Amino acid sequence: MWKSIRWRTTLIAVLTVFSIAVVLPSLTDNLPDSWGKKAPKIRLGLDLQGGVFLRLVVEIDKAIETTTLRYADEARAVCRAKGIPVLGWLKDGNDGFSLKLPPGDFAGRALSLLKEDMGNIDFALGDVRADGASVSGRMKPAEVQMIRANAVTQGVDTIRNRIDPEGVREAQVVPEGDDRIVIQLPGFKEQQRAIALVSQVALLEFKLVDEGASVEEAMKGNIPEDAQLLYQVASDRQTGKMVKTPMVIKKRALLTGDKIKSAKVSFESRQGGAGVSVSFDAQGTKIFDRITAENVKRRLAIILDGNIKSAPVIQERISGGEAQITGSFTAEEASDLAVVLRSGALIAPVKVIQNVTVGPSLGQDSIQKGVRAGVIGALLVVLFMAFYYRFSGLVADFALIFNILYLLAGMALLEATLTLPGIAGVILAIGMAVDSNVLIFERIREEIRAKKPVRASIDAGYDKAFWTVVDSHVTTLITAVILFQFGTGPIKGFAVTLSMGVAINLFTALVCTKVVFDYINARRPMQVLSI
């Protein structure tokens, strides 16, 4: 008997001391750095800490269109590499295109070649006329479906990677429906910066400037077929005003940002301010080396999301695999740009459809009301149990204290994010903590009414109530797991606190209270039980 009591008491004592050590860093900052700063803590959610809430819609159709354009360029390159001239091309819907070819057997050759080289596209022979023929291509349904599925998933991953460097550890980036993303940034106060950070496509392209084209003619609409009119926006050094400089740029991208290995802030910009230095991976280094070797004395435009950041003249071959993006950035702008370049471009643009900023004062008010509700709820439960079950009720109240302590410790260890629904889950767990004791105590009462000894009544009460208590908690736990699996944001916070409260309640109800009764009976067998 005593042996069983000792190991249970030791277990409770160890868990209690450990829980106090884990919980304290979340309650106070007046702790040694080796303890307070390195220890896991309970994080406060957006509704308690304040911050930024964003809801984005993923423009999946644009991702499909962009992919279609890329396949069209690839098809043209494949044909030209085999000596098949392509006179032009047209977009056919959102997921198709057609290539215009000269008269002769070019269309048949192109069709055979493209079917062999580009398995993601269904190709077919189009119109055959005296002035030429066409080959149509359309993305396979499986490819379109994959783009639709990946657009949101990749968006979530990319945005999460952009946010991580900010140190917002409790940030939530979750998909919503088929084409939306919900972002919560607790503690993030700069709404516009947050919007820019998560919504920037960050498509980096290196393209040659078309030196032979007339900018004046291009601004009138006379743009060569293989070129486009873009603008470089920069600050005038003398006036400080933003100046837009038009340039005619080749459409074909010689190198893109997916070959970037790293990006970091640089303060060597000749234009003043900060810049971003990028280094390419092995393949990107080879491509950049070839580009610079073949285009010495030509201008290479560095384009980010359709805007020219700089267009330096290639003075010599660059084999180091590094380039610099300038544009008179502030240090903060350069840092954000480096973050989005390292995390990669979004395959589909996103649009902010809802943005809300929650102030810290509102969050503090919510915390105070939540704590007040929890304290009042716990106090009423304690008083009721003490009044209705007398001494046994005090034992249940004793277990309730441990229940709350262990629950807070569990949340700290998991670095769980506490939200308003999470506080509701804690309060619900408090109610459930004594519910198990109510079931056990009523069983004990039945045994005492049957004229059984107190010790035998206690043992029988715990034994007979055991499976009832377990079943009730398992059903609640199943519900909590479902909420966690399919819920988002605050719903998950509620599910976490509820599930931990259920698991901890089983321990406190079946172990903590029982050890008190066993200890008293071991020292002096009780003749009467106050229950």
| Whether 490 contacts 421, CB under 8 Å | yes
Give the 3-state DSSP-derived string for 165-188, with helices as H, strands as E and coil as C: HHCCCCCEEEEECCCEEEEEEECC
Query: How far apart are alpha carbons 361 and 365 in whole angstroms?
Result: 6
The dihedrals phi and psi of 443, each to the nearest 5 degrees, come to: -65, -40
| Whether 498 contacts 183, CB under 8 Å | no
The dihedrals phi and psi of 331, each to the nearest 5 degrees, come to: -60, -40
The dihedrals phi and psi of 476, each to the nearest 5 degrees, come to: -65, -40
DSSP one-letter code for 209: B
Report pLDDT for 167: 45
User: 248: alpha, beta or left, given left = phi > 0 and alpha = psi -120 to 50?
Assistant: beta
| Beta-ladder partners of 472 | none
What is the number of other CB atoms lying within 10 angstroms of the CB of residue 374?
A: 16
- What is the helix (H) or strand (E) element at residue 301, kind and residue range? strand 300-304
Residue 404 CA, distance from chain mean position: 30
- What is the helix (H) or strand (E) element at residue 147, kind and residue range? helix 141-163
By C-alpha distance, which of 326, 315, 301 is closest to 247?
301
Q: What is the sign, positive or negative, of the torsion defined by CA atoms of 161, 334, 302, 230?
A: positive
Report pLDDT for 166: 46
DSSP one-letter code for 416: P
**Burial zone of 340 (CB within 10 Å; 0-12 exposed, 13-18 middle, 19+ buried):** buried
Report pLDDT for 1: 61
Query: How far apart are alpha carbons 310 and 405 in whole angstroms?
Result: 58
Report pLDDT for 249: 92
Report pLDDT for 123: 92
How big is the CA angle at 63 (ends 231 and 252), to the nearest 5 degrees?
Answer: 45
Query: How far apart are alpha carbons 425 and 402 in whole angstroms?
Result: 17
Query: How far apart are alpha carbons 413 and 28 in whole angstroms?
Result: 16
Query: How far apart are alpha carbons 493 and 411 in whole angstroms?
Result: 10
How big is the CA angle at 184 (ends 29 and 63), to the nearest 5 degrees?
Answer: 145
| Whether 135 contacts 110, CB under 8 Å | yes
Query: How far apart are alpha carbons 529 and 394 in whole angstroms?
Result: 12
Which domains does the chain show, CATH number per domain? Answer: 2-49+359-523 (1.20.1640.10), 61-143 (3.30.1360), 200-357 (3.30.1360.200)
Q: In what order do the strands lie in the sheet with 242-250?
A: 242-250, 227-235, 307-310, 300-304, 204-208, 255-256
pLDDT tens sequence for the chain (531 residues)? 677 888 889 999 999 999 998 888 888 877 787 776 777 888 777 777 778 888 999 888 888 888 888 788 888 888 888 888 888 888 888 889 999 988 888 888 888 889 888 888 899 988 888 778 889 999 999 888 888 888 888 888 888 877 765 444 567 788 888 888 988 888 777 778 788 778 777 778 889 999 888 989 888 888 887 888 998 877 665 666 778 889 999 888 888 877 888 888 877 545 556 778 888 888 888 888 888 888 888 999 888 888 888 888 888 888 888 887 776 667 777 777 777 777 777 778 888 888 887 776 666 777 788 778 878 888 888 898 888 888 888 888 888 889 889 998 988 888 777 877 888 888 887 777 788 888 899 899 888 888 888 888 888 989 988 888 888 888 888 988 888 887 766 777 788 888 888 889 888 888 888 888 888 888 877 777 777
Which residues, 6+ apart, have CB-to-CB distance to 165 below 8 Å? 339
Query: How far apart are alpha carbons 187 and 48 in whole angstroms?
Result: 10
Structure tokens at 257: 């940002």
| Beta-ladder partners of 354 | 55
DSSP one-letter code for 137: E
Cα distances (angstroms) measured from residue 370 to each of 376, 407, 409, 412, 420: 10, 16, 18, 18, 7
Query: How far apart are alpha carbons 396 and 401 in whole angstroms?
Result: 9
Structure tokens at 457: 């009544």
Pairing status of strand 242-250 against strand 255-256: unpaired
Q: What is the sign, positive or negative, of the torsion defined by CA atoms of 81, 86, 88, 94?
A: negative
Report pLDDT for 122: 92
Structure tokens at 47: 């509704």
Structure tokens at 351: 């649009």
